[in-house]
Amino acid sequence: MEEKNKDVEQEESKLKKFVEFKVKPFLTDMKWKTKEAVTKGYNFCKEHKTEVAAVLTVGGPMVLGAIREASKAHREAIAEREQDLKTYDRRTDCYLRLRRPLKPKEQAELADRMAAGEGKTEILLDMGLLQKY
């Protein structure tokens, strides 16, 4: 029992040393660099008001439009992927979620086995393609 306590104490002391000598200096350094970058940006904007205003009036809408289009494409890609992973089983009257899209060979096997009278849920369970919730 005492050996376990010593091991735990040693691990805790190692963790404290790591935090003291590695994590804290890293965080203070990052905090300093961030504060310095913000200050430099603020000073630049203060000194070059007309240039910043010109760039923002032209570049701002362009950047926002690009962000909007990229996020729209991303949402559509996610929705399409989700649609590929959902399938409906008429026999059990429920939707099933697949682990991944079916390969052509798996689609052919599914069609053959369904034509033989098996249910879609049982087939996909046998193939190991249903995702667990």
Report how far residue 109's alpha carbon sits from residue 88's, in angstroms, rounded to the nearest whole number.
17
The predicted structure's pLDDT at residue 22: 87
The predicted structure's pLDDT at residue 92: 87
Phi-psi bin for 128: left (phi > 0), alpha (psi -120 to 50), beta? Answer: left
The predicted structure's pLDDT at residue 107: 93
Whether 26 maps to a domain, the answer reads: yes
The predicted structure's pLDDT at residue 82: 87
Contact 87, 120 (CB under 8 A): yes
Instruction: Give pTM, 2 decimals.
Output: 0.47
- Please state whether beta strands 94-97 and 86-89 pair in parallel, antiparallel, or not at all (unpaired): antiparallel
For the segment 52-81, what is each residue's pLDDT rounded down to a tens digit? Answer: 999 889 888 999 999 999 999 999 999 998
- Burial-class residue 47 by CB neighbours within 10 Å (0-12, 13-18, 19+): exposed
Domain around 29: 1-47
The stretches in the chain having pLDDT less than 70 are: 1-4, 132-133
Residues in Cβ contact with 92 at an 8 Å cutoff, skipping those fewer than 6 apart: 119, 120, 121
Number of domains within the chain = 2
Report how far residue 9's alpha carbon sits from residue 121's, in angstroms, rounded to the nearest whole number.
53
Whether 27 maps to a domain, the answer reads: yes
The predicted structure's pLDDT at residue 47: 94
Whether 64 maps to a domain, the answer reads: no
The predicted structure's pLDDT at residue 20: 86
The predicted structure's pLDDT at residue 43: 95
Whether 123 maps to a domain, the answer reads: yes
CA-based nearest residue to 84, from 98, 103, 72, 104 = 98
Whether 105 maps to a domain, the answer reads: yes
Contact 99, 124 (CB under 8 A): no
The predicted structure's pLDDT at residue 2: 64
